[in-house]
Every structure is written in structure tokens, then in C-alpha cells.
Amino acid sequence: MSMSTVSISCDLNKTVREHFMRLPQGGKCLVTYIWIDGSGEGLRNKTRTLDSEPKSIDEIPEWNFDGSSTDQSEGSNSDMYLIPVCMFRDPFTLDPNKLVLCEVLKYNRLPAETNRRQKCKKVMDQVKEHEIWFGIEQEYTLFGRDGHPFGWPQNGYPAPQGPYYCGVGANKTIGRDIVECHYKACLYAGIKIFGTNAEVMPSQWEFQVGPCEGIEMGDQLWIARFLLHRICEDFGVIATLDPKPVKGNWNGTGGHTNVSTKKMREEGGFQYIEEAIEKLGKRHTEHIQVYDPRGGLDNMRRLTGYLETSSITEFSAGIANRGASIRIPRQVGQDKKGYFEDRRPASNCDPYLVTEAIARTCLLDEDEDKSA
């Protein structure tokens, strides 16, 4: 990553900015529309003025953008529709301003290729009676503007992994300011952020979002990712979701997904956890294909069977086993109810694809079998 491709807006005088940010808005409301671009990983955004604060998503109008500049259309037919689907408070410009996640539709009103939300929502609506909850552990790594892991020695490497996980101290923890700002921004926005911690590799962190029911999981995680990238922009640091950002004996980054249904959470729920894991094992290859944006190629670098990962070619499950495809937490094994953790999704996964695949495999086929 060269310096020429990276913004240096973080170096601008923030005191000057604060003067203007405190100015009244004349009763108007700024609404920032956010969407997933043609890469399926990148987020784009633009802002417009509304005459008053919207009270619900229904009060936010559709908008459009140039899809030829986001790898989503050709220049000769470039307009794409932005369809608002959920609204959050804006932690950057503050109340009454809003952040709005949007679906992208093509000229013919069909979903754009990287709009996986509609298909996911259809499945979630079909399994609604099961009250399926998700929680995703979003790992990421901080990089400097020079393309080097943030805080790492310019020549060489930090000390080996060991002291960094949940560490404290200037010699063990890098970038906590960003993490704490992100946490507060998520709370202000209305994200169901559950927690955060430093990860195994230095400059590697994690935050968790959930529990969220159904389609809400994807909506919440995409906005939490937007907040992370936007905060890093102000600090002049880059957050990468690359599943294996540093080659060698360093941990990769995942999007571990915790799952439970109403039956799993009730007494005797362990039976339903085991049934779900058995079904997931039968469709291991299919799931691997949707657990990263490149059909398993990203996870191939990460899921090696080493460094707290399972093998990409083999399905496994176990209690308290972080080297398995599916981990059953020890407490769940004792209580005989609760949830399981699918450790295969990559850090750059599309949560709509991941949650849809899990819901479909664990629940929808079961319902179809019963009605057959």
C-alpha cells in the first residue's frame, strides 16, 4: 500500500473542524447513506439534507448513485437505486443526524450482485418461528499508512505471539484509542456491541456484535464495520479484514459466528445443537464457498489446521476446542443448552451469506423435509 493511495486528512487541524461542527443546523438533518460496493467487501457512503429528523426508516427517501464508479454498472446505464433498510444515530455529526444502511438495486429494480440482503431476509422470514440468534466476532488488524502493521518495528518483527491476547501495557497493546472510540461510537449509534478485546497477534483486535435475531445480524455488523473504517480514517490508520494479513507464524483473522435457536436455549437444547452440527458437517464444502468473498480462497490461507484454526478440507467439532470447525463452549456442554460457534467464517465474510447459509442448513431443510 503506497502513501499515494492513502488519505492524509487525519493530519488536518481538528480544532478548526470542531468550530464548524458546533454550528447549528437550522433544524435540518444530515442523512448519510451507506451501501456495499461491487467488491462485496467495500463500503461507500454519501450524505444529503432532509428538512427534519426522520422518525422511522419509512421517512427516508430512496436515492441513487453512479454504479460505474463502484464496479456495479456500466457507464452507459450507471444509475443504481439506494433503498434505505435500517437507521442509526450518527456518532460523527451527532443528533439529530442519521446513518442509513441501504440495499442496492439495479436499473430494473432487481438486487445488485453484491446485495445479498434480500435473499438472506427471505430465509430469515421462513425460519422466524425458530427465533434464531447470531453473534459475530469481528476480528481485524490495524495497519499504518505505509502498509506496515501498525506499531510493528520497521525492520523485523515483534516478539512472538503470547503476551498480546487481552494484553495491557505499551509493550503489549497497540491501538487501544481506536478500539475504545469505536466501542463508544457503536453504543451511540445503537449497535448491539457485546464486547471487545486485543487478539493474539499484535495490532490485531476483535469486537463482538450480538445477539441479533435473523436479518438484524448482517445489518448491525455492516454498520459496525463502517464505523470502524470511519474512525480509523480520522486516526490515519487502516483497519484490514484480510483473513491472513501477515504471512508466517501469526494468527489469521476470523468472523466466528455464534448461533442458537429457541430450542437450543431451552432445557434439553443440547440435542438440537448436536443435530445442527451434524447437518453443518454434511454441507461443509458448500459453507466454505460462502464463508469468504472468494469462494474459499481467502480462507485457504487461514484455515490450515494450525494457529487456532481447523483444516479447510475437514469438518470437526468439539467442546472448548478452538482448533475445530465448530466449537461448543464448555459452559454449554455443562448446561446441556445454549449455543455453538462456527469458527470457519473469515473476517471479511459477508454476514448475510454466512447467516443465511447457517439458517438454511440447520432449519429450513428440516422444515422442508417435514412438509414433504
Any idea how long the chain is? 372
Pairing of strands 29-36, 43-50: antiparallel
- The confidence score (pLDDT) of residue 66 equals 95
Q: Report mean pLDDT in 10-residue bins for the chain, 372 residues.
A: 64 92 97 97 98 98 96 85 98 98 96 97 98 98 94 92 96 97 98 98 98 98 98 96 96 97 98 98 98 96 94 95 95 97 98 98 68 40
Helices and strands (DSSP H and E) totals, the chain: 11, 13
DSSP assignment of 203-259: TEEEEEEEEEETTHHHHHHHHHHHHHHHHHHHHT-EEE--SS-S-SSS---BEEEEE
| Cα 226 versus chain centre, distance | 9
Give the C-alpha distances (Å, rounded to integers) separating 213 from 136, 190, 208, 305: 12, 15, 15, 31
Tell me how far apart the alpha carbons of residues 351 and 138 are, in angstroms, rounded to a whole number.
10
Would you state the cell numbers that stand for residue 183, as one nine-digit string?
466501542
Q: 79 by DSSP, 3-state: which?
A: strand
Q: Is it true that the peptide bond before 61 is cis, omega within 30 degrees of 0? A: no
Q: pTM for this one? A: 0.95
Please report the domains of the chain, with CATH numbers, ordered by start residue: 3-115 (3.10.20.70), 123-371 (3.30.590.10)
Q: What is the pLDDT of residue 372?
A: 37
Residue 160 is given by DSSP the state P
Beta-strand pair 98-105/79-89:
antiparallel
If you ran DSSP here, which 8-state letter would residue 154 be given? S
Residue whose C-alpha is closest to residue 202's, from 158, 147, 140: 158
Which candidate, 16, 26, 87, places its Cα nearest to that of 55? 87
Q: Name residues whose C-beta falls within 8 Å of residue 277's C-beta, 6 or more positions apart in sequence.
A: 317, 326, 328, 340
CA distance 132 to 120: 13
State the number of CA atoms in the 13 A half-sphere of 115 facing the CB.
21
Q: Helix 351-359 vs helix 216-235: angle between axes, to the nearest 10 degrees? A: 160
3-state secondary structure of 320: coil
pLDDT at 5 (0 to 100): 62
Q: What does the pLDDT read at residue 156?
A: 87
Helices (H), 317-371: 330-335, 351-359, 365-371
